[in-house]
């Protein structure tokens, strides 16, 4: 990066940090104007050419071309080199032509450098073709297209025609380093440091070349690989010498190799050219030029012939050949003059360009066509008398070419022109149909907020509400059709407050059946994608159909599709019965429907009705079931024991009690104080067989009173006797009575109980619980 005083170029432009490219002897930087407010019509980018004097002089000292900067001879050599640079920039200032590099700021000389400013260029042909295998070279993507090369050859030829026929000069240095490419893919001729003016009324002159010194920088001598043989071998120069240089450059463009490889040596040049002539004799021009297009092959001998008089007499004759008569070439040639054409020619060209766009490479469309069309659009919108047809066609072409751009590039190049406050109102009014047709492209290429606020909302409002001309119906149809891809960017609030009111207004106002059907389809889309809720459907959409008077079967069947999906959003049975079913019945009875169409309506009505009935029945069942469950819970569940699926646990004590073999004992109460209190000795009773564990026993008779005095503290249960089952007879029991005992025997006790009392009969009817043989009852006195 060079630093300069804040005067001239350095005060007007900012510089890039590193060179965009290098073309000997200049380093080319990208610059931008510092103050764009005072020069709004000026370029946004420029190229700043800088020559480093210190580096150049150090090169001369290093290689011994000069010995010091102080000697007069050395100073003269340095001044001679600087004169070449001054001449180069000076000729750019003198020669003004669309195909010659445009000079913006003249040469500035500083103590350390030279610098000047030109139109913005992205590179030179040398930077493109120096290394064929360099994949990262950004220019190769568009420069190597055949149509671009064809167009470039035309532009170089036109520049030479101007230099020869108007300036009466010979360029002498036509080579890849002398041709630049701007941002629009236009080729610009430069390298005018060796420009030679021929005397008036003559076509040739003597020219003596300096002896080649490989130590000398290349810009100080001619490139022999592109120099005509008459200059090198005969020391003669003419206008036709540039024809040879042009032919050599064409071979380089199509083959990627130099026509001659002389290493700037005159002797080697002579040998190389002699070899070419021998190959030409053996293989003819057709064999030597096999890689060139056929229409160009027939022109090459008139450019490369050794004999001056076998070449074209004038360069303009070359412009008339078939190579430049291709329709694509003619279209490109007309494009530059398009803004200057009248209304009819301009419109005719734009209409024809629509068909030819696919034949051009995208890079050329983006760099060349788009730039011209955007400029033309601004011009058309600024005219006092607007050309509606041209504006509409221009917008269509701009958006179509813009579809090949990235979103960032479209946002930077195309959107500012479309959205310009002075342009967009005219574009919206006169190019409404192209905007509607290409709304999907605009959605993809413009940031969502900018697209929604600047493009989409004004467009929908204008089309649905304001358009009243002949293009209203087709434009409305197109925009309604494109809404399918736009609903995803509408939120609920936008649909409710903006889109739905406009659609409803258009649906009720339009007299076009196709537009009305399209509106129904868009309502259906909003419901399917759930952009609307139940309230909007019931309050905004369905009332439109209640008031619709037309009974055309096409719109009725489209409406049926909408009615079929309404239950997806509306779940309320009452709303369906009150709002939807009456519409279905009313439309189904239209006399315009065919039998099959009426059947579809009835099928839909039955389905919706059945769904409502089933849903309502389920709700009733749930409601009634819950009430019944509540009533039974108050009583039945309270008294019902809780049932478990597990088996009841077995009580071990109960089981053991059921297996008891010994009869139960029963307490007896003393009846009289005169009875003898003789307890029964259980050891004196012997049973011959076991009694059953469970038997129905009668109450045993009272025991005879024992003569004994009752004590005050005697218990009522102080004496027990054994009782047997009444089913057992005395003979089944064998009781032994020991001798000498005063106690009465058990048999005598049983015999004394023969008279049965009422208490005994009562006891016989008692059913005992498990584990007991006789009830235990106290003996009452």
User: Span 741-765, mean pLDDT?
Assistant: 45
Q: Residue 85 pLDDT > 80, yes or no?
A: yes
CATH number of the domain that residue 564 is part of? 1.25.40
Q: Is 279:269 a contact under the CB 8 Å cutoff?
A: no
Coil, strand or helix at 358: helix
The set of residues, in sequence order, having a beta carbon less than 8 Å from that of 320 and lying 6+ positions away, is none
Q: Which of 427, 461, 486 is the last residue of a domain?
A: 486
Q: How many CB atoms lie within 10 A of CB 457?
A: 15
pLDDT in tens, 289-305: 877 888 898 899 899 88
Ranges 216-225, 279-288, 289-298: which has the least confidence: 279-288
pLDDT in tens, 469-504: 888 999 999 999 988 888 888 889 999 999 999 999
Higher pLDDT, 754 or 576: 576
Q: What DSSP line would sit under 56-82, residue for residue?
A: HHHHHHHTTS-S-SSSHHHHHHHHHHH
> Residue 628 falls within a domain, yes or no?
no
Q: What angle do CA 539, 540, 542 make, to 5 degrees?
A: 80
User: Do 186 and 333 reside in the same domain of the chain?
Assistant: no
- Please tell me the distance from the alpha carbon of residue 180 to that of residue 778, in angstroms, as a whole number: 138
> Residue 38 falls within a domain, yes or no?
yes
User: Do 453 and 522 reside in the same domain of the chain?
Assistant: no
> Residue 503 falls within a domain, yes or no?
yes
738: left (phi over 0), alpha (psi -120 to 50) or beta: beta
Q: What angle do CA 770, 775, 777 make, to 5 degrees?
A: 150
Per cent of the chain over pLDDT 90 is 46
What's the domain count of the chain?
3
User: Do 464 and 532 reside in the same domain of the chain?
Assistant: no
Q: Is the dihedral of CA 299, 303, 307, 311 positive or negative?
A: positive
pLDDT in tens, 115-168: 999 999 999 998 876 654 444 344 444 455 788 899 999 999 999 999 999 999
> Residue 536 falls within a domain, yes or no?
yes
**How confident is the model at residue 730, as a pLDDT?**
42
Coil, strand or helix at 720: strand
> Residue 629 falls within a domain, yes or no?
no
User: Span 557-580, mean pLDDT?
Assistant: 92
User: Span 229-252, mean pLDDT?
Assistant: 92
User: Do 467 and 495 reside in the same domain of the chain?
Assistant: no
Look up residue 325 and give its two tokens.
Answer: 């008569």
Q: Which of 292, 324, 356 is the last residue of a domain?
A: 324
Cα separations (Å) of 76 from 89, 435, 774?
20, 66, 156
Q: How many CB atoms lie within 10 A of CB 554?
A: 14
User: Do 382 and 239 reside in the same domain of the chain?
Assistant: no
**How confident is the model at residue 746, as a pLDDT?**
43
- Please tell me the distance from the alpha carbon of residue 90 to that of residue 93, in angstroms, as a whole number: 5
Higher pLDDT, 378 or 731: 378
Residue with tokens 């009694």: 691
User: Span 431-440, mean pLDDT?
Assistant: 93
User: Do 494 and 580 reside in the same domain of the chain?
Assistant: yes
pLDDT in tens, 305-324: 888 888 999 999 999 999 99
Q: Residue 344 pLDDT > 80, yes or no?
A: yes
Residue with tokens 């049973």: 687
pLDDT in tens, 12-65: 999 888 998 998 899 999 999 987 665 556 788 999 999 999 999 898 888 888
Longest dimension (CA), the chain: 190
- Residue 724 — very low, low, confident or very high, per pLDDT cuts 50/70/90? very low
Q: Which of 560, 593, 618 is the last residue of a domain?
A: 618
**Omega cis (within 30) before 25:** yes
- Please tell me the distance from the alpha carbon of residue 33 to that of residue 331, in angstroms, as a whole number: 33
The set of residues, in sequence order, having a beta carbon less than 8 Å from that of 765 and lying 6+ positions away, is none
User: Do 412 and 549 reside in the same domain of the chain?
Assistant: no
- What is the model's pTM? 0.70
Q: In the 8-state DSSP scheme, what is residue 386?
A: -
Please state, rounded to an integer, the average pLDDT across all residues of the chain.
Answer: 81
> Residue 205 falls within a domain, yes or no?
yes
In 3D space, the residue among 33, 16, 73, 25 whose CA is nearest the CA of residue 50 turns out to be: 25
User: Do 378 and 434 reside in the same domain of the chain?
Assistant: yes
CA-based radius of gyration for the chain: 59
User: Span 670-693, mean pLDDT?
Assistant: 47
Coil, strand or helix at 236: strand
Q: Which of 296-310, 512-526, 714-728, 763-777 has the highest mean pLDDT?
A: 512-526
User: Do 480 and 551 reside in the same domain of the chain?
Assistant: no
CATH number of the domain that residue 239 is part of? 1.10.510.10
519: left (phi over 0), alpha (psi -120 to 50) or beta: alpha
> Residue 355 falls within a domain, yes or no?
yes
pLDDT in tens, 641-680: 665 555 556 667 776 766 665 555 555 665 544 444 444 4
Q: Residue 231 pLDDT > 80, yes or no?
A: yes
Higher pLDDT, 138 or 109: 109
> Residue 733 falls within a domain, yes or no?
no
Look up residue 315 and give its two tokens.
Answer: 């360069």
Q: What is the 3-state secondary structure (H, E, C) of 599-646?
A: HHHHHHHHHHHHHHHHHHHHHHHHHHHHHHHHHHHHHHHHHCCCCCCC
User: Do 525 and 384 reside in the same domain of the chain?
Assistant: no
The set of residues, in sequence order, having a beta carbon less than 8 Å from that of 21 and lying 6+ positions away, is 28, 122, 123, 124, 127
Ranges 2-6, 186-190, 439-443: which has the least confidence: 2-6
Higher pLDDT, 573 or 699: 573
In 3D space, the residue among 268, 261, 210, 269 whose CA is nearest the CA of residue 65 turns out to be: 210
User: Do 391 and 510 reside in the same domain of the chain?
Assistant: no
Residue with tokens 């068909």: 355
**How confident is the model at residue 66, as a pLDDT?**
84
- Chain-centroid distance, C-alpha 686: 109
- Please tell me the distance from the alpha carbon of residue 67 to that of residue 660, in angstroms, as a whole number: 145
User: Do 276 and 377 reside in the same domain of the chain?
Assistant: no
In 3D space, the residue among 282, 276, 326, 321 whose CA is nearest the CA of residue 299 turns out to be: 321
Q: Residue 691 pLDDT > 50, yes or no?
A: no
Q: Residue 214 pLDDT > 60, yes or no?
A: yes
**How confident is the model at residue 635, as a pLDDT?**
56
User: 58: domain range?
Assistant: 9-129+139-324
């Amino acid at each position: 990066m060079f630093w300069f005083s804040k005067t001239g170029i350095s005060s007007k432009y900012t510089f890039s940090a590193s060179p965009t490219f290098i073309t000997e002897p200049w380093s080319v930087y990208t610059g931008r104007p510092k103050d764009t407010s005072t020069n709004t019509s000026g370029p946004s980018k420029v190229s700043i050419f800088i020559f480093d004097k210190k580096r150049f002089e150090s090169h001369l000292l290093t290689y011994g071309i000069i010995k010091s900067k102080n000697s007069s001879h050395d100073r003269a050599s340095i001044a001679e080199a600087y004169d070449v640079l001054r001449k180069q920039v000076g000729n750019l200032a003198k020669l003004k032509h669309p195909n010659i590099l445009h000079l913006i700021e003249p040469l500035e000389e500083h103590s350390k450098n030279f610098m000047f400013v030109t139109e913005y260029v992205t590179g030179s042909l040398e930077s493109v073709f120096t290394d064929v295998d360099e994949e990262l070279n950004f220019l190769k993507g568009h420069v190597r297209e055949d149509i671009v090369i064809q167009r470039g050859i035309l532009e170089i030829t036109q520049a030479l025609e101007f230099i020869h026929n108007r300036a009466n000069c010979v360029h002498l240095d036509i080579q890849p380093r002398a041709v630049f490419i701007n941002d629009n893919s236009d080729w610009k001729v430069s390298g005018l440091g060796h420009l030679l003016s021929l005397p008036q009324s003559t076509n040739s002159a003597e020219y003596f070349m300096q002896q080649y010194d490989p130590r000398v920088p290349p810009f100080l001598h001619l490139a022999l690989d592109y120099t005509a043989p008459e200059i090198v071998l005969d020391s003669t120069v003419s206008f036709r010498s540039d024809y040879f240089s042009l032919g050599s450059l064409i071979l380089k463009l199509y083959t990627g190799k130099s026509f001659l490889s002389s290493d700037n040596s005159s002797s080697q040049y002579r040998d190389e050219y002699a070899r070419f002539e021998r190959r030409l004799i053996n293989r003819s021009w057709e064999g030597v030029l096999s890689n060139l297009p056929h229409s160009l092959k027939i022109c090459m001998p008139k450019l490369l012939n050794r004999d001056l008089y076998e070449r074209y007499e004038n360069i303009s004759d070359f412009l008339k050949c078939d190579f430049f008569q291709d329709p694509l070439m003619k279209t490109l040639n007309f494009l530059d003059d398009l803004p200057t054409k009248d209304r009819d020619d301009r419109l005719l060209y734009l209409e024809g360009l629509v068909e030819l766009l696919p034949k051009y490479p995208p890079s050329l469309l983006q760099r060349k066509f788009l730039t011209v069309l955007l400029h033309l659009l601004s011009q058309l919108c600024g005219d006092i008398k607007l050309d509606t047809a041209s504006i509409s066609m221009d917008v269509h072409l701009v958006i179509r070419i813009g579809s090949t751009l990235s979103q960032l590039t479209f946002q930077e190049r195309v959107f500012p022109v479309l959205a310009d406050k002075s342009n967009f109102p005219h574009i919206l009014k006169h190019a409404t149909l192209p905007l509607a047709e290409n709304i999907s492209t605009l959605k993809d290429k413009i940031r969502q907020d900018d697209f929604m606020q600047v493009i989409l909302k004004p467009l929908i409002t204008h089309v649905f509400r304001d358009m009243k001309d002949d293009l209203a119906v087709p434009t409305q149809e197109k925009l309604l059709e494109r809404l399918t891809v736009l609903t995803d960017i509408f939120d609920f609030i936008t649909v409710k407050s903006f889109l739905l009111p406009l659609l409803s207004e258009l649906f009720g106002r339009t007299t076009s059946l196709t537009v009305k059907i399209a509106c129904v389809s868009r309502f259906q889309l909003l419901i399917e994608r759930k952009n609307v809720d139940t309230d909007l459907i019931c309050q905004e959409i369905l009332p439109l159909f209640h008031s619709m008077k037309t009974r055309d079967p096409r719109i009725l069947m489209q409406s049926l599709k909408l009615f079929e999906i309404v239950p997806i959003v509306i779940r309320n049975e009452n709303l369906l019965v009150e709002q939807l079913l009456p519409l279905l019945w009313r439309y189904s009875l239209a006399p315009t429907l065919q039998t099959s169409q009426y059947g579809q309506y009835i099928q839909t009505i039955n389905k919706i009705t059945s769904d409502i009935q089933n849903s309502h029945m389920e709700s009733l069942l749930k409601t009634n079931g819950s009430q019944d469950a509540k009533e039974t819970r108050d009583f039945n569940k309270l008294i019902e024991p809780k049932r478990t699926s597990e088996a009841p646990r077995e009580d071990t004590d109960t089981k053991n009690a059921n297996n008891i073999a010994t009869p139960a004992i029963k307490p007896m109460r003393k009846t009289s104080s005169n009875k003898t209190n003789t307890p029964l000795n259980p050891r004196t009773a012997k049973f011959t067989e076991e009694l059953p564990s469970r038997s129905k026993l009668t109450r045993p008779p009272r025991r005879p009173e024992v003569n004994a005095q009752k004590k005050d503290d005697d218990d009522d249960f102080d004496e027990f006797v054994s009782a047997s089952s009444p089913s057992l007879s005395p003979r089944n029991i064998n009781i032994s009575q020991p001798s000498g005992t005063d106690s009465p025997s058990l048999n005598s006790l049983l015999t004394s109980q023969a008279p049965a009392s009422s208490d005994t009969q009562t006891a016989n009817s008692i059913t005992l619980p498990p584990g007991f043989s006789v009830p235990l009852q106290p003996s009452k006195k």
